[in-house]
Structure 1
Amino acid sequence: MIRAVQLCPVHLLATELRWTSGSITTNRAKLSYQLGNPGRPSPEPTITIVITDDSGSVIGPAGADPVSNRYDEAWRAFRAIGRRGAGHELGAVLHFDAPTSGDVPPTPLTRSGLQRLRSGLHVPRDAAGTSCLGTSLQAAAEMADHYANYEAMLIVLSDFELFDDNVSQVLDDLANFPGDVHAVILGGTPVDGVLHDRIRVTPANYDDPPGTVARAVFGGLTARRPGSWVADQ
């Protein structure tokens, strides 16, 4: 579960990998998959916070997501909600290296808010590539506390190969987040007996079909929207 911290800036590595793998938007074929029905705006205010892992064990050549499809798929989920979103439904994006230039504060899930949210769905240029969840988790908890009258959902996109000083405490803090928690396990790292039972887990393995991450994020975004449903694979 533990790897050494990758301290070098990772945006250069991510850019090189996107070019060599043909994964940049202009070179990648459009992938077709269904998300489901976003339903109607939630009757109560909501905030959905996505935390993403940009460590070497995720974006490295042998990493859990070397071509950054997690960002493309998360964007597709946000976009599907934003087309039918409302001002009292908020989204936010944080990165393991928070604060970074790619962090997006709580923003309405509306057409006008989509582009701001999209600006955070990439590897930040100032990302250090740490494998530590604690700092961004604390920032997410502070957001949820600030919006205490909102129903909070936290979605963490990571391989959970963490290198925090006290991993057990961080995982306890994750379980105690003031809202629902959904862990999307990039690369299929075994987490049985590691994550608390209250945390919903979606494995995103190397050989899973396109849309696995998108549907997980979509499910979190629509959890309190009447009439919503998530498509099967």
Structure 2
Amino acid sequence: MIRTVQLRPVHLLAADLRWTSGSTRANSPSVSYQLGDPGRPSPEPTITIVIADDSGSVIGPAGADPVSNRYEEASRAFRAIGRRGGKHELGAVLHFDTPTSGDVPPTPLTRAGLQRLRSGLHVPHDAAGASYLGASLNAATALAKHYRNHEATLVVLSDFELFDDNVDQVLDDLADFPGDVHAIVLGGTQLDGLLDERVQITKAAHTDAPGTVARAIFTSLVAHRPGSRPI
């Protein structure tokens, strides 16, 4: 059964995706934002799976995130948890082109596991730039079912300009994921009812403030952690 994650409006400010295709991490403007208190490790086992879209409409010069800022902000969210994470709290990273060299299997959200998780937060060198969600969604669902004793959360970073042969079925499967589902819509794409109401949506438009992708992922990561206080 899907449990919709309820986010307060302050958590739905989108990430700063305003840099041009010529920007790099070295010359991108420095930004500062707070995520909040991650609280204490969850009393029950958890698994948070992040799926990233590396298609041309996202990473291209005119794409939603040409300098991969989504990965920088995802890394920031994972780091915030890793400082106080438990071995029974797992994170995983998948890409639309799965299997890829950037996929990271379920890994404890601890200081030791953080480096491995961060190794998947980039555009894989063997990514084909597919706009297909189906394969990675199937992989995420298989992980959630394998870790059936864990509270599962799926976070999808995409502009949702999908080219799956059966888009309607794929989106139905997304809503049927065995856990919480959070879609972070890069570029502020107008979905017009495309996603089921069971899917929590955060829009990240070009004009929005820095830190929202990080805050949205952070909020999903701390959903089961007592004492957590996302900003």
Q: TM-score, length-normalised on structure 1?
A: 0.89
Cα deviation 1:126-179 (Å, max 9, x = unaligned): 000000000000000000000000000000000000000100000000000000
The ranges of structure 1 where at least 4 consecutive aligned residues each deviate by more than 3 angstroms after the TM superposition are none
CA distance in 2, matches of 1:155, 1:167: 18
Quick one: percent identity of the two aligned structures?
73
Match of 1:185 in 2: 185
Work out whether residues 20 and 66 of structure 2, in 8 Å CA contact, stay in contact via their aligned partners in 1.
Answer: no
CA distance in 2, matches of 1:23, 1:112: 28
TM superposition shift of 1:192 = 2.9
Cα deviation 1:35-94 (Å, max 9, x = unaligned): 111011000000000000000000111111111100000000000000000000000000
- Tell me the secondary structure at the aligned position of residue 216 of structure 2: helix
CA distance in 2, matches of 1:91, 1:101: 16
CA distance in 2, matches of 1:228, 1:219: 9
TM superposition shift of 1:191 = 1.4
Residues 65-104 of structure 1 mapped to structure 2, 5 A cutoff? 65-104=65-104
Letter in structure 2 aligned against 1:169 = Q
Letter in structure 2 aligned against 1:202 = T
CA distance in 1, matches of 2:215, 2:203: 12
- Tell me the secondary structure at the aligned position of residue 143 of structure 2: helix
Residues 36-115 of structure 1 mapped to structure 2, 5 A cutoff? 36-115=36-115
Q: TM-score, length-normalised on structure 2?
A: 0.90
- Tell me the secondary structure at the aligned position of residue 21 of structure 1: coil
Match of 1:21 in 2: 22
- Tell me the secondary structure at the aligned position of residue 196 of structure 2: coil
TM superposition shift of 1:28 = 3.0
Structure 1: runs of 5 or more not aligned: 1-17
Match of 2:9 in 1: none
State the Cα RMSD in Å: 1.2
* Range with bigger deviation, 29-38 or 138-147: 29-38
Structure 2: runs of 5 or more not aligned: 1-18
How many aligned positions are there? 213
Quick one: structure 1 residues 20 and 184, their matched pair in 2 at CA, closer, same or farther if it must change by over 3 Å?
A: closer
CA distance in 2, matches of 1:99, 1:225: 30
